[in-house]
Amino acid sequence: MKIALTGGTGFIGSHYLNRALADGHLVRAFRRSPESKCRIPITQQPDWFDRQINQVAREDLNGCDVLVHLATHTGNVPYDSLANCFYWNVSAAISLFEEARLAGIKRYIVAGSCFEYGASGARYDQIPTDAPLEPTNSYSASKSAASIALMQWAKEYKLNLEIIRVFHVYGDGELSTRLWPSLKSAALSGRDFAMTKGEQVRDFIDVRQCASIFLRRTTLQLQDDRHQLIFNMSSGRPQSILDFSRTWWNQWNAKGELLVGQLPYRDGEVMQYIPGPNILSPVDD
pLDDT of residue 54: 97
The single-letter code of the amino acid at 235 is: S
Upper half-sphere CA count for residue 206 (Cβ side, 13 Å): 6
pTM score: 0.96
The pLDDT value given to residue 285: 44
Catalogue all structural domains in the chain, each as residue range(s) with its CATH number: 2-170+204-235+275-284 (3.40.50.720), 179-201+237-273 (3.90.25.10)
Tell me, what's the pLDDT at 222? 75
| Residue 199 pLDDT | 98
**Residue 48 three-state SS:** strand
pLDDT value of position 223: 67
- Chunk the chain into consecutive blocks of 10 residues (it has 285) and report each block's average pLDDT, rounded to whole numbers: 98 98 98 96 96 97 98 95 98 98 97 97 95 97 98 96 97 97 98 98 97 95 80 95 98 98 94 88 62
Between vectors from CA 64 to CA 9 and to CA 283, what angle results, nearest 5°? 65
**HEC readout, 221-244:** CCCCCCCEEEEEECCCCCEEHHHH
Question: Distance between CA 32 and CA 64 in Å, rounded?
Answer: 20
